[in-house]
Amino acid sequence: MVPRESYARSRRALVRRRDRQRATVSHERWLVSYADFITLLFAFFTTLYAISTVDARKLTAVVDSVQSAFATAGPAARDARRGHTAGGVPARLELPVQPPGDTGRDAVELREVKAALDIRLEREIAAGDVQLEMDPRGLVISIREAGSFPTGSADLSAAAQVGLRQIAETLSEVGNAVRVEGHTDNVPIHTDRYRSNWELSTARATTVVAFFVNAGLPPTRFSAAGYGEFHPRVANDTPDLRALNRRVDVVVLNPVTTAREEPRPRVEATSSSADR
């Protein structure tokens, strides 16, 4: 009789314990799934950030390689681009990848160009007619209007031509692209030849480009831009400050700036002099 009562008590105790466990079920188990979801989101956006950082030089090298391979490819390569060889067998087109240039080396080369111009243009720099400086675009050779162009004109003075010959000789020793930028002050101009500072600044830039081309430099290396009075170096508050803004900047571009800002020719440039 005693063992049966003991068994009944144990049975009732087990049932009560099981009921208590059911009554104390956690209602915060969703936090585990939520934490896993947040962790996955963090990993996803970290991966997106990592792959969004693009090396412009490497990307340019890859694009050049692809364009070069496609431009010189024959029928077999065109079939390979579609994913098959002439026999219908899947193929993989191997593209030559050009090694990207060394940004540090390019910067050193432009500093060497600046050092050479510091010597060749020593007199012009001392007179304040020319200023050399490095900026993120490359080497900037700033030629002041004083001693270079008559007021309101795009005709080069004899003194300016001497300095430009020195610059041309130095540019012939490197292969960088060059952008010539014309700038004026904010004094309006309206003459029979130039109706605005836009026209004057552009005319001066193209005059310098023409001088370099006539000196034997490849025209494909050059571009010209006129900014009028809208990119001043200093405020146009006094005559002396306005004189600093009247200038032509010869910008020897580094490869990164060239790839980012200069247009690439789709076909090989040819002279049209024969057509004229």
Per-residue pLDDT tens digits for 213-227: 999 999 999 999 999
What is the pLDDT, as a whole number, of residue 101? 43
Instruction: Give SS3 for 35.
Output: helix
Residue 31, domain member (yes or no) = no
Distance CA 197, CA 187 (A): 8
* Band (33; pLDDT cuts 50, 70, 90): confident
What is the pLDDT, as a whole number, of residue 246? 96
pLDDT over 60 at 83, yes or no: no
More confident residue, 200 or 95: 200
| 115 to 111, 196, 247: CA distances (angstroms) | 6, 37, 21
Report the number of distinct structural domains present in the chain: 2
Domain ranges, residue 83: 57-100
Instruction: Give SS3 for 51.
Output: helix
pLDDT (tens digit per residue) in 152-164: 999 999 999 999 9
* Band (263; pLDDT cuts 50, 70, 90): confident
Distance CA 196, CA 153 (A): 12
- Domain boundary (82, 100, 118) is at 100
More confident residue, 68 or 167: 167
What is the pLDDT, as a whole number, of residue 142? 97
pLDDT above 70 as % of the chain = 68
* Contact of 101 with 255, CB cutoff 8 Å: yes
Q: Residue 200: exposed, middle, or buried by beta-carbon count in 10 A (0-12, 13-18, 19+)?
A: buried
User: For 117-125, which contacts have Cβ atoms below 8 Å and span 24 or more sequence positions?
Assistant: 117/141, 117/166, 117/167, 117/170, 120/166, 120/167, 120/169, 120/170, 121/163, 121/166, 121/167, 124/163
Which uninterrupted H or E stretch holds 139? Answer: strand 138-144
Its pTM stands at 0.61
What is the pLDDT, as a whole number, of residue 184? 96
**154 and 235 assigned to the same domain:** yes
What is the pLDDT, as a whole number, of residue 45? 86
**211 and 110 assigned to the same domain:** yes
Average of pLDDT values for 10-17?
A: 71
What is the pLDDT, as a whole number, of residue 77? 47
**213 and 149 assigned to the same domain:** yes
Average of pLDDT values for 174-192?
A: 94
- Domain boundary (33, 66, 100) is at 100
Average of pLDDT values for 99-125?
A: 79
Q: Which residue has the tokens 């077999």?
A: 76
Residue 249, domain member (yes or no) = yes
**182 and 94 assigned to the same domain:** no
Residue 139, domain member (yes or no) = yes
